[in-house]
């Protein structure tokens, strides 16, 4: 049993913060939260308490959509929209991951950056290359962080050097899944079925991926309705599909297994209905949507309709791996919507954005994302002393941290109950 005393702040529901000034959080040896208390109950009074003073303790972040092999391009090459951006900058960079030495150099930095930014859970695209994907999974195992790592499927409309076959990919998924189930029986690092998007995946590949996802009971991730030219292209490529989402659904890749779809900037009508009906989780990536000129996803509307929305950085479409920036942009984009709609839609609150960055993503992993009893203990200790020079409430301190803070304020990081030290890079 381990007991910490700190200013606890989390979002069990999206509508408000739950705060506990100088509260206690009790963690079992298994890494599961035993409870949070304003005063320690009698049965716990013999245990040592680690007092973190006036620091804040918040749930660690979940980045639900990020491309590890785009790490070198972060903050670069944002002068084109999606399709030319992929061809000009992204595919050439990802092709380099055939070289395992290059992959190791970059992936070590990527994993280190997740740690630095307090992102203890991530859902990651790698490349088409099995050895590099396996290496990335090993680096996550070594780091102590949780992740779902997907070897990316691509077999059309891409360079020959960046395409795999359905058989190769399915074998890769099988091997990585078997390896990770043996190495991580607790599921801390898992693989995820990852068709890049409809334009780069033939019917054969989609069909193979749908089958393997079901057979091995794996989650699925992809991109959906991000950019207008992309959507028009998908109409040509998949004329039988009723809409872009249906092109995944036909192959069992749209909620038949737990599914993340990034962007959904232009999702509407029947596609939105199918997302709702199938329980697909939308991953909002506001930084990327702005950088690639994709548009503004109507997140208020999605939330009003009861759709699950989590948050991602989408590096390197997104230019920064900080989930603080993702929170900030999510709120600011929603305010553009508000302004453009003549005030008809309300914008996102601080607690809604924080919920999307922690609890909503955490639920995709299991009992993760807030400080409820029975959840895995995943937390960051934040020292905002330099920002906290007057009588701010905890909610105000967190709000200032969203806008003014950064990774330097994160003093300690816990994942699955363990304190994680800085990974080598």
Window contacting ligand GUN (CB under 6 A); options: 82-90, 157-165, 274-282, 329-337: 82-90
Three-state SS at 11: coil
| Residues sharing a CB contact under 8 Å with residue 15, sequence separation 6 or more, in sequence order | 349, 351, 352
| Residues sharing a CB contact under 8 Å with residue 304, sequence separation 6 or more, in sequence order | none
Q: What are phi and psi of 18, to 5 degrees?
A: -105, 125
Q: Looking at beta carbons, which residue is closest to ligand GUN?
A: 317
Residue 196 near which of Fe ion, ligand GUN, none (CB within 5-8 Å, type-dependent)? ligand GUN
Task: Supply the minimum distance, in Å, between the C-beta of residue 65 and Fe ion.
Answer: 6
The residue within the footprint of ligand GUN, chosen from 190, 223, 284, 337 (CB under 6 A), is: 223
Site size toward ligand GUN (CB under 6 A) is 11
Q: How far apart are CA 30 and CA 43, in angstroms?
A: 19
Residues 225-264 that bind Fe ion (CB under 5 A): 262
Question: Using the rule CB under 6 A, is 197 a contact of ligand GUN?
Answer: yes
Task: Supply the minimum distance, in Å, between the C-beta of residue 314 and Fe ion.
Answer: 4
DSSP 199-261: GG--HHHHHHHHHHHHHHT--EEEEES--HHHHHHHHHH-TTSSSHHHHHHTTT-SSSS-EEE
Both structure tokens of 62: 């979940």
Residue 106 near which of Fe ion, ligand GUN, none (CB within 5-8 Å, type-dependent)? none
Residue 197 near which of ligand GUN, Fe ion, none (CB within 5-8 Å, type-dependent)? ligand GUN
Nearest C-alpha neighbor of 163 from the set 121, 120, 195, 138? 195
Task: Supply the minimum distance, in Å, between the C-beta of residue 318 and ligand GUN.
Answer: 8
Residue 279 zone, left/alpha/beta (φ > 0; ψ -120 to 50; rest): left
Site size toward Fe ion (CB under 5 A) is 2
Neighbour tally for 186: CB within 10 Å = 12
Task: Supply the minimum distance, in Å, between the C-beta of residue 365 and Fe ion.
Answer: 19
Both structure tokens of 177: 């899944």
Task: Identify which of residues 262 and 299 has a Cβ nearer to Fe ion in the complex.
Answer: 262
Question: Using the rule CB under 6 A, is 90 a contact of ligand GUN?
Answer: yes
Question: Using the rule CB under 6 A, is 67 a contact of ligand GUN?
Answer: yes
Task: Identify which of residues 86 and 218 has a Cβ nearer to ligand GUN in the complex.
Answer: 86
Task: Identify which of residues 10 and 314 has a Cβ nearer to ligand GUN in the complex.
Answer: 314
Q: How far apart are CA 93 and CA 106, in angstroms?
A: 11
Nearest C-alpha neighbor of 67 from the set 187, 279, 221? 221
Is 41 exposed, middle or buried (CB count within 10 Å of its CB: 0-12, 13-18, 19+)? exposed
Question: Using the rule CB under 5 A, is 94 a contact of Fe ion?
Answer: no
Question: Using the rule CB under 6 A, is 93 a contact of ligand GUN?
Answer: no
Task: Identify which of residues 289 and 350 has a Cβ nearer to ligand GUN in the complex.
Answer: 289
Task: Supply the minimum distance, in Å, between the C-beta of residue 131 and ligand GUN.
Answer: 20
The residue within the footprint of Fe ion, chosen from 63, 94, 271, 314 (CB under 5 A), is: 314
How many helices (H) and strands (E) would you count in the chain? Answer: 15, 17
Binding-residue pattern over the window 295 to 324 for ligand GUN, x denoting contact by CB under 6 A = -------------------x--x-------
User: For binding to ligand GUN (CB under 6 A), which residues are involved?
Assistant: 67, 82, 86, 90, 196-197, 223, 226, 288, 314, 317
The footprint of Fe ion (CB under 5 A) covers 262, 314
């Amino acid at each position: 049993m381990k007991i910490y005393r700190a200013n606890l702040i989390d979002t069990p529901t999206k509508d408000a913060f739950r705060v506990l000034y100088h509260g206690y959080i009790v963690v079992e040896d298994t890494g599961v939260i035993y409870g949070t208390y304003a005063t320690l109950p009698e049965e716990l009074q013999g245990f040592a308490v680690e007092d973190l003073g006036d620091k804040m303790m918040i749930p660690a972040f979940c980045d639900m959509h990020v491309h590890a092999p785009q790490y070198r391009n972060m903050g670069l090459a944002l002068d084109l929209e999606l399709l030319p951006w992929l061809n000009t900058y992204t595919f050439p960079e990802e092709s380099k991951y055939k070289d395992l030495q290059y992959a190791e150099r970059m992936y070590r930095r990527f994993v280190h950056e997740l740690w630095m930014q307090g992102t203890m859970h991530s859902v990651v695209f790698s490349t088409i290359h099995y050895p590099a994907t396996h290496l990335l999974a090993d680096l996550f195992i070594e780091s102590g962080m949780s992740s779902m790592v997907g070897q990316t499927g691509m077999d059309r409309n891409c360079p020959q050097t960046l395409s795999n076959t359905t058989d190769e990919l399915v074998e890769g998924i099988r091997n990585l899944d078997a390896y990770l189930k043996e190495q991580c029986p607790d599921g801390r690092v898992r693989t995820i079925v990852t068709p890049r998007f409809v334009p780069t995946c033939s019917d054969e590949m989609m069909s193979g991926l749908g089958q393997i996802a079901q057979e091995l009971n794996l989650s699925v991730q992809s991109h959906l309705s991000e950019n207008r030219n992309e959507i028009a292209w998908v109409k040509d490529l998949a004329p039988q599909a009723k809409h872009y989402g249906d092109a995944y659904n036909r192959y069992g890749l749209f909620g038949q297994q737990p599914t993340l779809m990034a962007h959904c900037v232009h999702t509407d009508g029947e596609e939105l209905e199918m997302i709702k009906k199938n329980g697909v989780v939308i991953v909002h990536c506001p930084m990327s949507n702005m950088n690639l000129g994709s548009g503004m996803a109507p997140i208020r509307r999605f939330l009003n309709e009861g759709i699950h929305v989590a948050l991602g950085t989408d590096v390197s479409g997104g230019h920064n791996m900080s989930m603080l920036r993702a929170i900030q942009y999510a709120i600011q984009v929603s305010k553009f919507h508000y302004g453009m709609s003549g005030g008809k839609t309300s914008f996102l609150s601080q607690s809604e954005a924080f919920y999307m960055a922690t609890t909503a993503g955490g639920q995709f992993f299991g009992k993760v994302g807030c400080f409820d009893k029975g959840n895995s203990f995943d937390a960051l200790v934040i020292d905002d002393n330099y920002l906290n020079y007057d009588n701010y409430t905890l909610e105000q301190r967190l709000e200032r941290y969203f806008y003014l803070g950064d990774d330097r304020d994160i003093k300690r990081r816990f994942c699955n109950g363990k304190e994680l030290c800085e990974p080598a890079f």
